[in-house]
């Protein structure tokens, strides 16, 4: 195949449209992104798709300007093929097809979840980790087994980030609620260093190797309705749901015999979760890794990185195979790179 120069990555699975780059050696360059912020309510797929369509030209210009590149410098175009919200994915795929055709740059559709793993491996220098992938729509514990990234455990209902955002929204906190919950929990803990769970208990989210968050969401709201302070409930909510994720991740390390834990997804920006993972890993002579925050949230750079890995290994996506797949599974993508 022709030499790879700059690979453009296009991310559009949900709330964020993002363009990122890797160079000919697969070295990542920070993304240019914009996230839809609804005035009220949650994210509506069509509204998010309209947002992506509207901001795309501005973002792309900004990316080129920032990196002093011209469109013709792009030799390869990667995009998120799934999983995600249909209308949002379709915008990203349409932009990718258009650019690929115009620039005569081979196209590669990639798996969004796998991209989170690969940017994490690149950034953290870990080799064969168990991934704790905690984002808005997804919560999965993943490990490489027999040539695929296998989902060893996952949420049975909503993603952990969606749960945090829904709880926040019910208290009048706009999207994204996760960072505000983190701040309120930390502030409350600083004022209540002897905090105990008395009166702040919530259901435990672990179901075997899987997780479930909707019951915790209802119970946390009930604590608020019964007069508990918002800070106290934010703290308890984080402690309960992060402990559940860490427990499943620990079991995955134990079952697979792996010794590296890697965090990914927007909720992996959370300091308390990062600390809990480090404590757990240390206790079992393992290591916990967390990529820089700009590569935890959805970003085009991780899409470019996985596109680069796949195209270097000889895979391309023909136009007639470029349709999006809302339900693409992590284990549907064979790992053809090292």
Binding positions for ligand AMP, rule: CB under 6 A: 14, 135-136, 161, 164-165, 176-179, 182, 265-267, 269-270, 297-298
The two tokens of residue 283 are 């206790």
Minimal distance in Å, beta carbon 5 to ligand AMP? 28
**176 binds, options ligand AMP, Mg ion, none, Cβ within 5 to 8 A by partner type:** ligand AMP
Rounded Cα distance between 95 and 57, Å, is: 10
What CA–CA distance (Å, rounded) separates 246 from 66? Answer: 38
The item of ligand AMP, Mg ion, none sharing an interface with residue 118, based on CB under 5 to 8 Å by kind, is: none
- Residue 129 binds which of Mg ion, ligand AMP, none (CB < 5-8 A, kind-dependent): none
How many C-beta atoms surround the C-beta of residue 210 within 10 A? 18
Q: Pick between residue 103 and residue 156 the one whose CB is nearest to ligand AMP.
A: 156
Looking at residue 202, the DSSP 8-state letter turns out to be -
Residues 144-163 that bind Mg ion (CB under 5 A): none
Q: 55-77: string of b/e by CB count within 10 Å (b at 16+)?
A: bbeebbeebbeeeebeeeebbbb
User: Which partner in Mg ion, ligand AMP, none is near 74 (CB below 5 to 8 A by kind)?
Assistant: none
Is the omega angle on the peptide bond into residue 279 within 30 degrees of 0, that is, cis? Answer: no
Q: And the tokens for 69?
A: 């590149």
Least distance (Å) between residue 260 CB and ligand AMP: 20
Residue number of the CB atom closest to Mg ion: 135
Does the footprint of Mg ion cover residue 239 (CB under 5 A)?
no
In the DSSP assignment, the letter for residue 334 is: B
- Minimum CB distance to Mg ion smaller for 136 or for 231: 136
Nearer to ligand AMP, 124 or 297 (CB): 297
Q: Are 310 and 336 in contact (CB under 8 A)?
A: yes
The token pair that represents 92 in the structure block: 């990203």
Select 247 or 298, whichever has its Cβ closest to Mg ion. Answer: 298
Which one of Mg ion, ligand AMP, none is in contact with 267 (Cβ closer than 5 to 8 A by kind)? ligand AMP
List the interface residues with Mg ion, window 117-136 (CB under 5 A).
135
Q: How near is the Cβ of 82 to Mg ion at its closest, in Å?
A: 12
Contacting Mg ion within 277-336 (CB under 5 A): 298
Q: In degrees rounded to 5, what are phi and psi of residue 212?
A: -150, 130
Answer yes or no whether residue 140 interacts with Mg ion by CB under 5 A: no
30, interface contact from ligand AMP, Mg ion, none, CB < 5-8 Å by kind:
none
Nearest residue to 109 (alpha-carbon basis) of 319, 336, 331, 327: 319
15: phi then psi, degrees, rounded to nearest 5: -80, -15
| Closest distance of CB 298 from Mg ion, Å | 4
Residues 90, 50: Cα–Cα separation, whole Å: 11
| Helices marked H in 112-177 | 112-124, 160-170
Cβ 14 to ligand AMP, closest distance in Å? Answer: 6
Record the tokens describing residue 96, joined without a space. Answer: 């990718």
Applying CB under 5 A, the residues found at the interface with Mg ion are 135, 298
């Amino acid at each position: 195949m022709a030499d790879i120069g700059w690979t453009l990555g296009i991310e559009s699975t949900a709330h964020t449209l993002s363009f990122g780059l890797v160079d000919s050696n697969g070295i990542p360059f920070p993304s240019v992104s914009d996230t839809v912020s609804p005035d009220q309510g949650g994210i509506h797929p069509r509204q998010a798709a309209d947002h992506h369509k509207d901001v795309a030209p501005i973002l792309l210009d900004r990316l080129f300007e920032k990196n002093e590149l011209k469109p013709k410098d792009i030799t390869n175009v990667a995009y998120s093929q799934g999983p995600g919200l249909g209308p949002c994915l379709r915008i990203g795929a349409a932009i990718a097809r258009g650019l690929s055709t115009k620039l005569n740059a081979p196209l590669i559709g990639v798996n969004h979840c796998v991209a989170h793993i690969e940017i994490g491996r690149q950034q953290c220098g870990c080799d064969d980790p168990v991934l704790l992938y905690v984002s808005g729509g997804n919560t999965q514990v993943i490990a490489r087994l027999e040539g695929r990234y296998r989902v060893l455990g996952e949420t049975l209902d909503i993603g952990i980030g969606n749960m945090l955002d829904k709880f926040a929204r019910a208290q009048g906190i706009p999207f994204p609620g996760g960072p505000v919950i983190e701040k309120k929990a930390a502030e409350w803990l600083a004022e209540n260093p002897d905090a105990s769970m008395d009166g702040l208990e919530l259901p435990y989210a672990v179901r075997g190797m899987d997780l479930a968050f909707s019951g915790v969401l209802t119970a946390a709201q009930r604590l608020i309705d019964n007069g508990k302070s918002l800070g106290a409930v934010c703290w308890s909510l984080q402690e309960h749901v992060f402990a559940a994720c860490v427990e499943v991740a620990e079991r995955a390390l134990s079952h697979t015999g792996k010794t590296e834990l890697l965090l990914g997804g927007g909720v992996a920006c959370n300091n308390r979760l990062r600390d809990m993972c480090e404590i757990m890993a240390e206790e079992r002579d393992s290591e916990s890794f967390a990529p820089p925050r700009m590569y935890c949230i959805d970003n085009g750079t991780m899409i470019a990185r996985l596109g680069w890995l796949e195209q270097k290994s000889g895979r391309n996506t023909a136009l007639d195979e470029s349709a999006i797949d809302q339900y693409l599974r992590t284990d549907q993508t064979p790992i053809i790179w090292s």
